[in-house]
């Protein structure tokens, strides 16, 4: 029996696997895409996006929206993030809504998502 309420039963799996990479080179368990839940793969994408765009780390400049998407497209090509879910992030407009709510205005620039779509291997 899980110590978590029903709505949080997947929390340990999501938290524990969100640094995994789709090619099995991530950590801590070196899981491949097919061994991860969709929620863990979604959290992995969200974690990368937030880390790239966060304005608070003192050791680096926050990336613009277009820079973050471009870097994530490289991660997708290298099989680090889920390609289908990356396309969904873009086509759904979630990346833009997040930017408008949480990013600094000077970070928000235009992104031509068409150049990043349909590259799923």
Residues 6+ apart with CB under 8 A from 87: 116, 117, 118, 120
Measuring CA to CA, which residue among 69, 17, 66, 67 is closest to residue 43?
17
Whether residue 44 contacts residue 82, with contact meaning beta carbons closer than 8 Å, is answered with yes
**ω into 28 cis (within 30 of 0):** yes
Measuring CA to CA, which residue among 44, 48, 50, 37 is closest to residue 20?
44
| CATH no., domain 10-116 | 1.10.3210.10
Per-residue confidence (pLDDT) for residue 13, from 0 to 100: 67
pTM, rounded to two decimals = 0.83
| pLDDT confidence band for 56 (50 / 70 / 90) | confident
| 3-class DSSP state of 47 | helix
Per-residue confidence (pLDDT) for residue 16, from 0 to 100: 61
């Amino acid at each position: 029996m899980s110590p978590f309420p029903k709505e949080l039963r997947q929390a340990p799996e999501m938290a524990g696997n969100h640094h995994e990479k789709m090619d099995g080179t991530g950590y801590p368990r070196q899981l491949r895409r097919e061994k991860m839940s969709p929620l863990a793969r979604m959290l992995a994408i969200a974690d990368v996006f937030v880390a790239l765009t966060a304005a608070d780390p003192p050791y680096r400049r926050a990336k613009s929206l277009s820079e973050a998407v471009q870097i994530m497209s490289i991660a997708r090509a290298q099989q680090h993030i889920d390609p289908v879910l990356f396309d969904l992030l873009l086509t759904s407009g979630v990346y833009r809504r997040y930017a408008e709510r949480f990013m600094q205005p000077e970070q928000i620039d235009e992104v031509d998502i068409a150049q990043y779509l349909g590259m799923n291997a």
